[in-house]
Amino acid sequence: MELSSITTKSSQATIASAKKFLEKVLKEAREDAPLIFYLEGELGSGKTHFVKGLAEALGIKDNITSPTFVLMKKYAVSGSTAARQAGKKLFFHIDCYRIYDSQDARQIGLDKILENPRAIVAVEWAERIADIVPKPYWKLVFKHIDDKTRKIVIKNVQR
């Protein structure tokens, strides 16, 4: 079921949409479960820009780039009162583009990160490890409309 969609016309609009979306989602976040963003879409469809917006909303000052070659980056959540109130202290940005399957993901401990209730986790190319992503999670499918326009379809995947 499609919960909603967002259409953006620039990378800055994608970043701003992510910030706004995170503010809304944190109000309903559970303390006993991680907050997971399952990101799916073609190369260049806006996934990393969306993650930049999430990080900015969390007060992370680092330059957010896709962790394609290092697979994962970990950050401390510092500037978001809403995230701290929801018990979230860590932000993980994972890129599964170079992960073959869930077995590879388990070997490097991604399954443990995906189970950490203190974590907010953004997973690019999450479809490659779909069977180890615990529910609930937010599934965002990024689609190219044209050179500048992106559509982000959002689904809340429950149990």
Task: Flag whether 38 is in a domain.
Answer: yes
**Which residues have C-beta within 8 Å of that of residue 153, sequence separation ≥ 6?**
2, 5, 140, 141, 143
pLDDT confidence of residue 1: 42
Q: Does the structure show a pLDDT above 80 at 126?
A: yes
Task: Flag whether 99 is in a domain.
Answer: yes
**Distance of alpha carbon 52 from alpha carbon 33, whole angstroms:** 22
Looking up residue 83, the CATH number of its domain turns out to be 3.40.50.300
Q: The domain containing residue 87 runs over which residues?
A: 33-144
Task: Flag whether 71 is in a domain.
Answer: yes
Q: For 139-148, how does the pLDDT look when each residue is reduced to its tens digit (9 = 90+)?
A: 999 999 998 8
Task: Flag whether 61 is in a domain.
Answer: yes
Q: For 26-84, how does the pLDDT look when each residue is reduced to its tens digit (9 = 90+)?
A: 998 999 999 999 999 998 899 999 999 999 999 998 988 887 778 899 999 987 888 98
152 and 141 Cβ atoms separated by less than 8 Å: yes
C-alpha separations of 123 from 107, 135, 145 in Å: 17, 14, 22
Cβ atoms within 10 A of the Cβ of 77, count?
A: 21
